[in-house]
Structure 1
Amino acid sequence: MTQHRLSEVEIGKNYKAKELDSFVSTTDVVVLSNNEEQLFTDPDREYKVVTAFAGFFEHSSEVGEKYYREKKAYVVEKI
């Protein structure tokens, strides 16, 4: 099987799940998908990168505080 290694993705472009899998595996990012936990269940299903954020807020249940994480986050949509 061919390796699909991506080091970046572009907003507005479509990618197969196997390409996004490679991207997540080799890059420190968060990917949010509109089809929940099924993002990587079908390697050939295509997704469109809708938007990207430089970071996000995360709540720590241990200390009850919210922290801004500087970690690239992408929103993808099943097409």
Structure 2
Amino acid sequence: MTNRGFNTLKPGNNYSAQDLDSFVSTKDVLLLSNNGSQLFTEPDREYKVIHEFEGFFEHSSQEGEKYYREKKAYVVEKV
């Protein structure tokens, strides 16, 4: 998919690492990948969006509290 500038990722669709890089650079989102820190090392590698979440819980180690963050989160895996 070469459509740069899209507003959301759709579960079930494949995206290149380059598309994902462009997406997270322009949106306030969380991206989880099974490819560790190598997600953006191969721009043409394809990833499939497995899950989309409206938010997530985050633990603050400084305050010891858990907070719900209303922030889109996506889980992607290598194709």
Same fold (TM over 0.5): yes
1:6 deviates by: 2.6
Structure 1 unaligned regions, length at least 5: none
| SS at structure 1 position matched to 2:4 | coil
Residues 24-79 of structure 1: CA distance to partner in whole angstroms, max 9, x if unpaired? 01111000001111110100000000010000010101101111100000000011
CA RMSD of aligned residues (A): 1.5
The 5 Å alignment of 1:31-46 reads: 31-46=31-46
| SS at structure 2 position matched to 1:57 | strand
Share of identical aligned residues, percent? 67
Q: Output the TM-score relative to the length of structure 2.
A: 0.92
Match of 2:4 in 1: 4
For the residues of structure 2 that align with 1:20 and 1:50, how far apart are their CA atoms? 14
Match of 2:55 in 1: 55
Match of 2:15 in 1: 15
Structure 2 unaligned regions, length at least 5: none
For the residues of structure 2 that align with 1:74 and 1:3, how far apart are their CA atoms? 18
Q: Output the TM-score relative to the length of structure 1.
A: 0.92
Give the direction of change, closer, same or farther, for the CA distance of 1:64–1:33 in structure 2 (3 Å limit).
same
Equivalent pair of 1:6/1:22 in contact (CA under 8 Å): no
Equivalent pair of 1:16/1:43 in contact (CA under 8 Å): yes
